[in-house]
Each structure stands twice: as C-alpha cells, then as structure tokens.
Amino acid sequence: MMLPRAGLPPEPRLAWAYFLDVDGTLIDIADTPDAVRVDTALLDLIARLQRASGGAVALVSGRALSFLESRLGTLRLPLAGQHGLERRDAAGRIWIHAAPPAAKSAIKAALAPVLVRHPGLLLEDKGLTLALHYRLAPHLAAYAQRLMARLADEAGAGLEVQRGKRVAEIKPAGVDKGSAIAQYLTEPPFKRRRPVFIGDDRNDEHGFAEVNKLDGISIKVGRGKSCARFRLRDVAAVRRWLGKALNGKE
C-alpha cells in the first residue's frame, strides 16, 4: 500500500544540513547488533553527499561511535552515538555524557541471571548505555520493558529507559538525538542551515521534535505514530531521496 502523496518530503537541497539515523533508516535492521553490514553503495552515497553539501552531513545513531567507525571504512564525518551521549563534531572533537560506572555495574549484575533464564534476550553494553534486545524473543517485550524501567529507577543515578524497536535501553537522562542535533546546529558547517533529520523509530522522536521547532524537514521511515512531518516508505526510499540531491550537481 502506497504512502499518501502529501506525506512525501520535498526535493532535497545541498544547502540543507543532513542528520541521519542508521539502523532502519540507511540500512535494514539485522536480528542481532553484530550482524549489521554497511554496503559500499551506501558509503559512496554518504561520501558524495558530504562533499557536495560542504560537509553538512552527520550520522545520529543509537550505536556507539566505535561501532559506527568500524563500519564506515575510510569515510570520516561527524557522528553522534548512543543517542547523543557521545558526539564527534566536524572538527574531530569528542563530547561525552557518561553514566555512573557503579550504577551500570549494578544493572549488569542484576541482568546476568535474567539472561541465563531467557537466552532469547541479548544485552549489549555500548559503553555509555545498556541495551536489552528482545528481537529474538518478542513475546518477552512487556517483561523486558518493565524490568529495565525498574532497574533504572532502582539505580537512582539520573538514568532513564529509552524504548526502540524491540529494545529497551538504559541511558543518562536529558541527552538524546534532539539535543545532539541542536549542538551540531551551533557549529560549522551545520550552522544557519535548514536541518533535515531522518529516522525510523521511537528513539528518533526527540530528533523530529527538535527539527520541527526549527522549521526543518523531519522524515519518518515506515509506518507508526510520529511527530515527523514527512514519510518515506523504507531504506531504499531514503537512499533514493538522498540521491536526488546529487543529480547533476556534482
């Protein structure tokens, strides 16, 4: 079934600032975090867009910076990882918002017997956050969400649970993809450009809201309730839309 015509975004422009989620937006979601593969066609597209836009392209992901860097090969660009908790700006500087180590250790210890009882659950330690994936055990969704909410509350260290596609993630409160985008927009080459943010799940709503405040272009990939102003069907549609910015302009 086709998305309504009114939901399609306008033609992209090289004068805009592009902030792009990764999983479910630029690449299809894999069953496990380590199964993700970034193809050369995508790397070429991002590199070309970065050059043509004067460098105004950043990846804004739930992934750790180390993971993103390991998949990007020689491509180097601004990256916001772990939902903005770690951010590399266009000048190469790194900005970190860390969770208290003691609270993180206590949560991991509490989850250890749970993972033994439920092998379909997967704990991903991203360094600054703890993500409990239940993609391989969707029947445990409610249990996983309640458990992570309780552990975050018991930690009492300014932590919160962020919910995504079949994942519940404990992270420091008050930092998200929206705050990362706002920081980028105070810096060159993003400053004074109209922002674009493309994402696919609940973790991206903060980014959509921030871009909407600035009269930017917020694009939700796929179905689901969202505050995004525009829609694209899937990963392939995102790539085609970004490619339009380059047509005859390189």
> What are the catalytic residues?
21
Alpha-carbon distances, residue 114 vs 118, 119, 142 (angstroms) = 6, 8, 14
The DSSP secondary structure of 115-142, one letter per residue, reads HHH-TT-EEEE-SS-EEEE-TT-GGGHH
Determine the angle formed by the axes of helices 101-117 and 141-155, rounding to 10 degrees. Answer: 150
Distance CA 227, CA 74 (A): 35
Find, among 198, 225, 222, 200, the residue nearest to 211 by Cα: 198
> What type of residue is 90?
A
For residues 169 and 149, what is the distance between their CA atoms, to the nearest angstrom?
A: 9
Per-residue 3-state assignment (H helix, E strand, C coil) for 185-208? CCCCCCCCCCEEEEECCHHHHHHH
**Which residues contact residue 105 at a Cβ distance below 8 angstroms, ignoring those fewer than 6 apart?**
none
